[in-house]
A = this chain, B = another copy of it.
Amino acid sequence: MTEDDLIAMLFAPIAGEGSLALRDDAALIAPSPGHEIVVTLDTIVAGVHFFADDPPDAIARKALRVNLSDLAAKGARSRGFLLGLSLPKDFWAGVGARDWLEAFARALGEDARLYACPLLGGDTVATPGPLTLSITALGEVASGRMVKRTGVKAGDALYVTGTIGDGALGLRARMGETPGLSADARDFLVARYLTPQPRNALAPAMAEFASGGMDVSDGLIGDLTKMLRVSGVGARIDLRAVPLSPAARALVAQGAEWFERALTGGDDYEVLAAVPLERAAAFERAAAAVDVPVTRVGEAVAGAGPPVFVGLDGTPRSFAKGSYGHF
Residues of A at the B interface (CB closer than 8 Å) are 1-4, 6, 20, 23-31, 36-45, 47-49, 70-71, 73-74, 76, 82-84, 86-87, 92, 120-130, 132, 134, 136, 138-139, 143, 146, 148-150, 214-215, 226, 230, 325-327
Contacts of A37 in B (CB 8 A): 28-31, 37, 138
Nearest-neighbour CB distance to chain B for A304, whole angstroms, equals: 15
Known A29-B36, A41-B122, A149-B23: A132·B326 in contact at CB below 8 Å? no
- B41 and A326 contact, CB distance less than 8 A: no
- Contact in complex: B40, A25 (CB < 8 Å): yes
Interchain CB contact under 8 A, B26 and A38:
yes
Partner of A43 from B38, B84, B214, B325 at Cβ < 8 Å: B84
Residues of B within 8 A of A122 (CB): 41
**Is A128 in contact with B38, judged by CB distance below 8 angstroms?**
no
Residue pairs across A and B with Cβ atoms less than 8 A apart, 28 shown, are A3-B325, A20-B150, A24-B150, A24-B214, A25-B214, A25-B215, A26-B71, A26-B139, A27-B40, A28-B37, A28-B146, A29-B36, A30-B37, A37-B37, A40-B82, A41-B84, A42-B123, A43-B84, A44-B125, A45-B126, A48-B128, A92-B327, A123-B134, A124-B326, A126-B327, A127-B132, A129-B130, A132-B132
* Chain B residues closer than 8 Å to A44, beta-carbon distance: 125
With beta carbons under 8 angstroms apart, the residue of B36, B123, B214, B230 that contacts A41 is B123
A125, B48: Cβ atoms closer than 8 Å:
yes
Oligomer: number of copies: 2
Among A136, A139, A146, A214: residue with most chain B CB under 10 A: A136
Contact between B125 and A128, CB atoms less than 8 A apart: no
Please state if A41 and B327 are interface contacts (CB–CB under 8 Å). Answer: no
Complex CA–CA separation, A24 to B148 (angstroms): 7
Chain B residues with CB under 8 A of A139: 26
- Picked from B43, B47, B70, B92, the residue with its CB within 8 Å of the CB of A134 is B43
Q: A3-B327, A127-B132 are in contact. List 12 more A-B contacts (CB 8 A).
A: A23-B149, A23-B230, A24-B214, A26-B39, A26-B74, A30-B37, A30-B143, A31-B31, A45-B126, A49-B125, A84-B136, A134-B134
Could you say which residues of chain B place their CB within 8 Å of the CB of A127?
45, 48, 129-130, 132
Q: Known interface pairs A39-B82, A43-B134, A123-B43. Does A70 touch B26 (Cβ–Cβ under 8 Å)?
A: yes
User: Are the CB atoms of A43 and B125 closer together than 8 Å?
Assistant: yes
Residue of B nearest to A214 (CB): B25
- A120: chain B residues at CB < 8 Å are 39
Q: Are A26 and B40 in contact (CB under 8 A)?
A: yes
